[in-house]
């Protein structure tokens, strides 16, 4: 996908100069943000569910228990609105109303498609695991039939998506520039802490080995 195509639903009306049609910027956001929010309608009321989401090529993918309300509604034909957001900084201005945030956010509309093929489903789940911890998938025990049958994996094509980005300094009114208070940006970085051992680890499981293997992947 070279660039995003604007539709009536994805057209950004508020601060349109912050919109971006750069698909590569969208990919970077989707690959970095592990959590998405899935909005749908249940019994006439809007519902938004946070869940883990990721990208496979030009689709976003999420999964859940086959018996969940959200997946039942989606499989019955319900459309969704899925959002991804990363907060990159707090923007501190010289007046209360010019404080803001630096962020990247994506909104995707559409009808998710259930992945029925077992191998394709496992391949999609492997992509997510490899995004979190490269190399771990091959070390895990094999997924059994009961687990895969109890889990629905859905993909949503990125055919109707918008991307909005705010970056940079506060935008103060000219007459406020002389006000004697610090202005600028407080960056926000995601940081992974040291590993915490599970109480039932085998005696020879060395956490230092695990930390070293994934150190590069977890570097902000």
Q: Give the separation between CA 147 and CA 192, rounded to whole angstroms.
A: 29
Q: Which residue has the tokens 């109890």?
A: 150
Q: Output the pTM of the full model.
A: 0.89
Question: Two tokens at 94?
Answer: 């010289």
* DSSP E strand boundaries for the chain: 19-20, 35-42, 45-56, 59-65, 80-92, 100-110, 113-114, 151-157, 161-166, 184-187
pLDDT tens over the chain, length 220 residues:
778 999 999 999 998 999 999 999 999 999 999 999 999 999 999 999 999 999 999 999 999 999 899 999 999 999 999 999 999 999 999 999 999 999 999 999 999 999 999 999 999 999 999 888 888 888 889 999 999 999 999 999 999 999 999 999 999 999 999 999 999 999 999 877 777 788 888 877 766 555 555 555 555 4
CATH superfamily of 16-172+181-187: Electron Transport, Fmn-binding Protein; Chain A (2.30.110.10)
Q: Which residue has the tokens 């509309």?
A: 109
């Amino acid at each position: 996908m070279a660039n995003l195509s604007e539709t009536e639903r994805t057209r950004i009306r508020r601060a349109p100069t912050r919109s971006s049609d750069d698909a590569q910027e969208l990919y970077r956001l989707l690959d970095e943000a592990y959590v998405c929010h899935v909005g749908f309608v249940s019994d006439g009321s809007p519902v938004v569910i946070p869940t883990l989401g990721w990208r496979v090529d030009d689709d976003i993918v999420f999964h859940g228990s086959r018996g969940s309300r959200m997946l039942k509604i989606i499989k019955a034909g319900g459309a969704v609105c899925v959002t991804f957001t990363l907060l990159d900084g707090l923007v501190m201005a010289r007046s209360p109303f010019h404080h803001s945030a630096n962020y990247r956010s994506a909104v995707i509309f559409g009808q998710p498609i259930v992945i029925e093929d077992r191998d394709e489903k496992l391949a999609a789940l492997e992509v997510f695991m490899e995004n979190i911890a490269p190399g771990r998938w091959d070390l895990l025990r094999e997924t059994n039939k009961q687990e895969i049958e109890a889990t629905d994996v859905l993909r949503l094509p990125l055919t109707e998506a918008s991307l909005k980005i705010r970056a940079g300094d506060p935008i103060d009114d000219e007459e406020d520039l002389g006000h004697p208070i610090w202005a600028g940006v407080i960056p926000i970085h995601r940081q992974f802490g040291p590993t915490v051992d599970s109480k039932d680890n085998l005696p020879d499981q060395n956490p230092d080995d695990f930390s070293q293997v994934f150190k590069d992947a977890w570097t902000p």
